[in-house]
Amino acid sequence: MALMHTPICDFGWQAPDFDLPDTDGEIHTLQTLRGPKGLLLMFICNHCPYVLAIIDRLVREAKAVQGLGVGVAAIMPNDWTVYPADAPDKMAAFARKNGFTFPYLIDAEQSVARAYDAVCTPDFFGFDADLGLQYRGRLDASGRNAASPDARRELYEAMQMIAAGQGGPRNQTSSMGCSIKWMA
């Protein structure tokens, strides 16, 4: 498990198009996922200790962001032949167990993770209504620790600004997590 940090936000970078299946086989595209106020894409997986430490807050924030008119989806980029805990059947169980209100997409060829230059799980991409990147930060300051009751909701606050048409915050702290498990 290599510890990685996401790069700084490249404001306005346009989201590459894609089509990926969810755990039920339904195909989703950039256009079908986007909401009227933007899109939040999250690269996550089932086994990463960083994702497991924040999954309850991630699901809470995703619901709140959806309430702002922002589409939300999670993408699993790992090679599940080497990490079977991330296999599609396990993804479906993980999504059910954690109450996902958003699609959990399978990037079997890792082409979407490469197109987005995703580096770790979790890796958050917050896009505005025109699908320009406005946020590439973290969920909050807790990392792998339990969040304090007064932890700032960095991702949610950024997505509020984006949904209101104000762009993303200029000061963003990189997300941190496990490296993506690339195919050999």
Residue among 41, 54, 53 at smallest CA distance from 14: 41
| CATH number 3.40.30.10 given to 3-179 | yes
Q: Do 168 and 156 meet the contact criterion of CB atoms below 8 Å apart?
A: no
Higher-pLDDT residue of 116 and 176 is: 116
Extract the tokens encoding 37: 């106020």
Length of the chain: 184
DSSP per-residue codes, 139-153: S-TTTTSPPPTT---
CA distance 128 to 55: 24
Terminal-residue alpha carbon distance, the chain: 16
Mean pLDDT of the chain: 94
pLDDT tens-place string over residues 70-107 = 999 999 999 999 999 999 999 999 999 999 999 999 99
Q: Write the pLDDT tens digit of every residue in 7-33.
A: 789 999 999 999 999 999 999 999 999
pLDDT band at 2 (very low <50, low <70, confident <90, very high): low
What residue ranges do the domains of the chain occupy?
3-179
Examine the pLDDT at 177 and tell me if it is beyond 70: yes
The answer, yes or no, to whether residue 169 has pLDDT greater than 60, is yes
Strands (E) located in 88-139: 104-106, 120-121, 123-127, 133-135
Give the model's confidence band at 3: pLDDT under 50 very low, under 70 low, under 90 confident, else very high: low
